[in-house]
Amino acid sequence: MITNTELEKKGNVFPSKITAFTKDVNSYTFTTENGVVLQITILRGELFRFRYSTTGRFANDFSYAINNHYHTSHNQLDMEEDNDYYIITTSKLICKVSKKNLKIKMYDSIDGTLVNQDELGFHWEESYEHGGDIVKMSKVSHDGESYFGLGDKSNNLNLKGKRFENWVTDSYAYGKETDPIYKAIPFYTGLYNKKAYGIFFDNTFRTFFDFAQERRYVTSFWAQGGEMNYYFIYGPKMVDVVKNYTELTGKPKLPPLWALGFHQCKWSYYPESKVKEITSTFRKLQIPCDAIYLDIDYMDGFRCFTWNKDYFPDPKRMVKELADEGFKTVAIIDPGIKIDADYQIFEEGLANDYFCKRADGPYAKGKVWPGECYFPDFTKPEVRKWWAGLFKELIGEIGVRGVWNDMNEPAIMEVPNKTFPHDVRHDYDDNPCSHRKAHNIYGMQMARATYHGVKKFAHPKRPFVITRAAYSGTQRYTSTWTGDNIANWEHLWIANVQVQRLATSGFSFAGSDIGGFAEQPQGELFTRWIQLGAFHPFFRVHSSGDHGEQEPWTFGEDITNIVRKFIELRYQLLPYLYTAFWEYTERGIPLIKSLVMYDQEDVNTHYRIDEFIFGNSILVCPVLEPNAKGRRMFIPRGNWYNYWTDKIEIGGKEIWVEADIDTMPIFIKEGTIIPKYPVQQYVGEKKIEEIVLDVYYKEGVEDSQFFEDLQDGYDYTTGNYCLRTFKLTGRKNQLVIQQHIEGSFKSDSKTFKIQIHGLPFKIETIQLDNKIEAIESVEQNGHLTITVNENFTELDFSAATNKS
């Protein structure tokens, strides 16, 4: 027997002392005595990249996550050293690198306070099983430090005391403790001493995060391969951390406005007569709806890009007739391509060698809905181009308006690990690798290819794509939903948490399967879920046909009326949501904000879960228990108007709010101006000639914005938009609204119907652009109402005692 003691397990290995240092523009490279190399790149004053090598050299610097158009800038960049540290200083951060062991400490450069520090810091373990390193990082976790983000994890918002794994997984009927599930977003925000920082661990291998679970004062992250490569993002505001991360990994483009309307889906609506029955019932009952979905049964034997002509004999005609009624058709496309010599797409993929292969040469085969399938290697540019071209008929000729990518983890049936074996090989954009590295980005690259295909053939309209699997940066291409949930009250709670967490992780365009995918909800649960979903960016009912019907009219007239009420509210709020979406695409500001992001300085928000801010100014708290007549909720600091009663609540405390089945707690921040459309059965149904502005009085100053464009297409990118900024100034006896307009877009609307809430004085005079208006133009309807030209510059309401 031959033994070699050099192959015995070495355990953790650590960097030794620094022996060399070089600088190249905005990068600093440190080399240790035992060959570890640390490269620190300063992208902005608040954003540092840390990249470690244990071999003395780095692999090709390639990432699917990073936005190639990310703009770097740093006004100040200084380097000095003392006996113990190299010290890098920017306008926002001070980074100290230990000469002894490469450990890092990060400080606020303004006040010098500690933001984050290494515990053991970078270390690694040689894995002979995988033939490489397990790379590890551990940092100090302080008393009172909190953690948020990490994508669609189904547990509490605050990650403190939890451990998670990132390995995108088909997780049918998952629960609160199920991990991992559908997405791998290795980014979190830490909050310490009321200051926020973010860490993005850009490593696509199976990764792990421990937030002071194993050791109380340590948080750590590690990967089963690849590099220790992470970005440190400083706020100190939490929203600024998320904004910078979203810009680093890529902001999305504006969706068509209809994509923010209500969507109805089921596994499956077929044949055509059933689809038409559903859509005609929406119009008959006057329940607004913009999109109808076709699940896998529309295909011929589940073959992608085909139609079952028995169910849908003339798809182009059907899609056109649906469009004439205001319904946009969205069709599912999965990654598995059926092995079938008579199937053209299979033959094309085979002829061009587009499918994933095993390490020893044959194509990777797996069973999914069509039976035995091969799978395109979406990490290969020519495969993505081919895939995009396959949408010519579906989108460009038949007229389908959106595509829904499912099963793209990729999910494989009847195998223990639910996906490819590790030895499957991928091109990885000319960086060849195994599935161990490519698994977490496979679904992302499928969504990317789909996006480019839909974008090309929908032109001049905007694309709409949905994905189940995702990695950091996927928000550039697609919306998402939270996967195969269950029709129970726990999953209503989970849906609320997941959408908040995704927004905190840069992925705002998200929603859940309203009502639950598996099993059947009762009317009360469905109603409460619709109420929550009306305030999620992606608003879709979806269910498994095996468990019964789940349309808005399924649960009786009383429930139908309440559901209609909240769908109508969503359509009224579309201009508010669209404005928030524009702000997300321009500035990276999340559409949904957990209370901790809204007010991180109030420690009461750090463990609040149920309440969230929709856009910038609407506070929402879903009812999450059966038989409830109301609930307790936390109102953040400031003054808030009850949406239903106009009663003002002073924030910073928990209160009881009445909320029977036909309502839910909704509050509006004082000083806000909210634009509203009239109720439409679908986006574009009506020529909107007057827009409501709900004005919520505040003693003080507040700004609001309202963005408009053609609601589809790309004219807004060349200036054909209208961005209105409203400045509200409230005094004890005066209310002034000033408007600034930029952009060239002219809408159909000519007037604003201004409704003033909470005005504390009786109006004696109204000045519109310095001209006195007749007092008779004000109506007393429970709130004060006046109609004005939409291009006004200044509107002044004054009491008789005002002398200004």
User: Does residue 648 surpass a pLDDT of 60?
Assistant: yes
Query: Does the structure show a pLDDT above 50 at 103?
Result: yes
pLDDT at 10: 67
Give the pLDDT band (50/70/90) at residue 72.
confident
Give the phi and the psi of residue 446 in degrees, each rounded to 5. Answer: -65, -45
- Which has the closest alpha carbon to 617: 658, 654, 577? 577
Number of residues assigned to the chain: 804
For tokens 């990967």, name the residue: 223
pLDDT for residue 572: 98
Residue 8 has what DSSP assignment? S
CA 145 – CA 743 distance, rounded (Å): 44
Tens-digit pLDDT profile for residues 713-767: 999 999 999 999 999 999 999 999 999 999 999 999 999 999 999 999 999 999 9
Residue 801 has pLDDT above 80, yes or no: no
Among the listed ranges 391-405, 664-678, 763-777, which one has the minimum average pLDDT value?
763-777
> What is the tally of helices (H) and strands (E) in the chain?
12, 53
The percent of residues above 70 in pLDDT, for the chain, comes to 97
Token reading at 25: 């523009």
Average pLDDT, the chain: 95
- Tell me the pLDDT band of 776, cut-offs 50, 70 and 90: low
Residue-level pLDDT at 311: 98
User: What residue type is assigned to position 432 of the chain?
Assistant: P
Which are the catalytic amino acids?
406, 409, 484
* pLDDT classification of 545: cutoffs 50, 70, 90: confident
Q: What is the DSSP secondary structure assignment for residue 545, as one 8-state letter?
A: G
Count of CB atoms situated within 10 Å of the CB of 301: 13
- Contact present, 443 and 410 (Cβ < 8 Å): yes
pLDDT in tens, 550-584: 999 999 999 999 999 999 999 999 999 999 999 99
Give mean pLDDT, residues 651-675.
98
Q: Is 127 helix (H, G, I), strand (E, B) or coil?
A: strand
Structure confidence at residue 734 (pLDDT)? 97
What pLDDT was estimated at residue 467? 98
Buried b (16+ CB within 10 A) or exposed e, 212-225: bbeeeebbbbbbbb
* Chain centroid to CA 49: 23
Confidence check: pLDDT of 2 > 70: no
726 in Cβ contact with 705 (< 8 Å): yes
Q: What share of the chain is helix, strand, coil (3-state, %, to 5)?
A: 20, 35, 45
* Number of other residues whose CB lies within 10 A of the CB of residue 656: 10
Q: How far is CA 5 from CA 9, 13, 327, 347, in A?
A: 9, 17, 69, 52
Write out pLDDT tens, residues 620-645: 999 999 999 999 999 999 999 999 99
- Mean per-residue pLDDT, 269-297: 98
What's the pLDDT at 774? 76
Q: What is the pLDDT of residues 151-177, one digit of tens each?
A: 999 999 999 999 999 999 999 999 999
Give the integer Cα–Cα distance in Å for 220 and 214: 10
d(CA 405, CA 266): 15
- Tens of pLDDT, residue by residue over 309-342, are 999 999 999 999 999 999 999 999 999 999 999 9
> Is the Cβ–Cβ distance between 197 and 115 less than 8 Å?
yes
Distances (CA, A) of 626 to 492, 496, 523, 612: 11, 16, 11, 21
Order the strands of the 618-620 sheet from edge to edge. Answer: 592-594, 612-614, 618-620, 666-669, 639-642, 648-650
Q: Is 512 exposed, middle or buried (0-12, 13-18, 19+ CB in 10 A)?
A: buried
What average pLDDT does this structure show over 645-660? 98
Tokens describing residue 647: 């009663």
Is the confidence at residue 434, as pLDDT, over 90? Answer: yes
Q: What percent of the chain has pLDDT above 90?
A: 94
